Amino acid sequence: MKAIKAELLARADKRGMQSSVVAGTTLLTAGEVSAFLDRAGDLPTALQSAVAARVLLIGALEMQKRTGQSPGLKTLVEMAEREQAKIQEQLEKNPADKDVLASTRRQLQLIIQHALKLSG
Protein backbone atom coordinates (compact mmCIF):
# COMPACT_ATOMS: atom_id res chain seq x y z
CA MET A 1 0.00 0.00 0.00
CA LYS A 2 2.92 2.34 0.70
CA ALA A 3 4.30 1.78 -2.79
CA ILE A 4 0.93 2.62 -4.35
CA LYS A 5 0.64 5.80 -2.29
CA ALA A 6 4.19 6.82 -3.19
CA GLU A 7 3.47 6.30 -6.90
CA LEU A 8 0.28 8.36 -6.66
CA LEU A 9 2.04 11.15 -4.78
CA ALA A 10 4.75 11.24 -7.42
CA ARG A 11 2.11 11.67 -10.13
CA ALA A 12 -0.07 14.17 -8.28
CA ASP A 13 -0.37 17.62 -9.77
CA LYS A 14 -2.10 20.83 -8.74
CA ARG A 15 -5.16 20.15 -10.92
CA GLY A 16 -6.10 17.00 -9.01
CA MET A 17 -6.42 13.48 -10.28
CA GLN A 18 -9.48 11.81 -11.74
CA SER A 19 -7.82 8.42 -12.05
CA SER A 20 -4.36 6.98 -12.17
CA VAL A 21 -2.48 3.90 -13.29
CA VAL A 22 -0.28 2.15 -10.75
CA ALA A 23 2.01 -0.84 -11.03
CA GLY A 24 1.94 -0.42 -14.78
CA THR A 25 -1.51 -1.83 -15.48
CA THR A 26 -4.04 -1.11 -12.75
CA LEU A 27 -6.40 1.81 -13.24
CA LEU A 28 -7.63 3.42 -10.03
CA THR A 29 -10.83 5.41 -9.84
CA ALA A 30 -10.85 8.94 -8.45
CA GLY A 31 -12.36 7.58 -5.22
CA GLU A 32 -9.57 5.03 -4.87
CA VAL A 33 -6.92 7.68 -5.52
CA SER A 34 -8.59 9.85 -2.88
CA ALA A 35 -8.49 6.97 -0.39
CA PHE A 36 -4.71 6.89 -0.73
CA LEU A 37 -4.08 10.63 -0.77
CA ASP A 38 -6.76 12.51 1.13
CA ARG A 39 -8.67 10.45 3.66
CA ALA A 40 -8.15 8.63 6.94
CA GLY A 41 -10.26 6.04 8.72
CA ASP A 42 -11.82 2.62 8.12
CA LEU A 43 -13.26 3.33 4.68
CA PRO A 44 -10.00 4.48 3.04
CA THR A 45 -8.12 1.63 4.71
CA ALA A 46 -10.57 -0.90 3.26
CA LEU A 47 -10.26 0.71 -0.18
CA GLN A 48 -6.46 0.77 0.04
CA SER A 49 -6.34 -2.91 1.01
CA ALA A 50 -8.71 -3.89 -1.79
CA VAL A 51 -6.70 -1.93 -4.34
CA ALA A 52 -3.47 -3.50 -3.08
CA ALA A 53 -5.03 -6.97 -3.38
CA ARG A 54 -6.15 -6.16 -6.93
CA VAL A 55 -2.67 -4.91 -7.90
CA LEU A 56 -1.01 -8.04 -6.48
CA LEU A 57 -3.47 -10.39 -8.12
CA ILE A 58 -3.13 -8.68 -11.50
CA GLY A 59 0.65 -8.91 -11.15
CA ALA A 60 0.44 -12.64 -10.46
CA LEU A 61 -1.87 -13.16 -13.44
CA GLU A 62 0.50 -11.22 -15.70
CA MET A 63 3.40 -13.35 -14.47
CA GLN A 64 1.42 -16.49 -15.22
CA LYS A 65 0.68 -15.21 -18.70
CA ARG A 66 4.37 -14.46 -19.37
CA THR A 67 5.99 -17.46 -17.69
CA GLY A 68 3.27 -20.06 -17.29
CA GLN A 69 3.91 -20.10 -13.55
CA SER A 70 1.78 -18.57 -10.84
CA PRO A 71 3.47 -18.98 -7.47
CA GLY A 72 1.19 -17.96 -4.65
CA LEU A 73 -1.86 -17.41 -6.84
CA LYS A 74 -4.14 -19.40 -4.52
CA THR A 75 -2.99 -17.37 -1.52
CA LEU A 76 -3.51 -14.11 -3.40
CA VAL A 77 -7.02 -15.16 -4.44
CA GLU A 78 -7.86 -15.98 -0.82
CA MET A 79 -6.51 -12.60 0.31
CA ALA A 80 -8.50 -10.82 -2.41
CA GLU A 81 -11.66 -12.64 -1.35
CA ARG A 82 -11.14 -11.45 2.25
CA GLU A 83 -10.66 -7.88 1.03
CA GLN A 84 -13.78 -8.16 -1.08
CA ALA A 85 -15.74 -9.20 2.03
CA LYS A 86 -14.37 -6.17 3.90
CA ILE A 87 -15.52 -3.89 1.10
CA GLN A 88 -18.98 -5.46 1.32
CA GLU A 89 -19.03 -4.69 5.07
CA GLN A 90 -18.08 -1.08 4.33
CA LEU A 91 -20.86 -0.88 1.74
CA GLU A 92 -23.36 -1.80 4.43
CA LYS A 93 -21.88 0.70 6.92
CA ASN A 94 -21.34 3.58 4.49
CA PRO A 95 -24.18 3.86 1.97
CA ALA A 96 -23.03 7.40 1.12
CA ASP A 97 -19.84 5.92 -0.37
CA LYS A 98 -21.73 3.32 -2.37
CA ASP A 99 -20.34 4.30 -5.78
CA VAL A 100 -16.64 3.98 -4.99
CA LEU A 101 -17.12 0.91 -2.80
CA ALA A 102 -19.29 -0.93 -5.32
CA SER A 103 -16.88 -0.11 -8.13
CA THR A 104 -13.89 -1.33 -6.15
CA ARG A 105 -15.71 -4.50 -5.07
CA ARG A 106 -16.78 -5.24 -8.65
CA GLN A 107 -13.30 -4.74 -10.09
CA LEU A 108 -11.82 -7.02 -7.45
CA GLN A 109 -14.56 -9.60 -8.04
CA LEU A 110 -13.82 -9.69 -11.78
CA ILE A 111 -10.10 -10.24 -11.19
CA ILE A 112 -10.83 -12.99 -8.65
CA GLN A 113 -13.15 -14.73 -11.12
CA HIS A 114 -10.53 -14.50 -13.85
CA ALA A 115 -7.86 -15.93 -11.54
CA LEU A 116 -10.13 -18.80 -10.47
CA LYS A 117 -10.95 -19.60 -14.08
CA LEU A 118 -7.26 -19.73 -15.01
CA SER A 119 -6.26 -21.79 -12.00
CA GLY A 120 -8.91 -24.39 -12.74
Reported as a single tens digit per residue, the pLDDT across 55-110 is 889 989 988 888 988 878 999 999 999 999 999 999 999 888 899 899 999 999 99
pTM: 0.78
Alpha helix segments (H runs only) across 1-94:
2-11, 30-37, 42-67, 73-93
Helix (H, G, I), strand (E, B) or coil at 27: strand
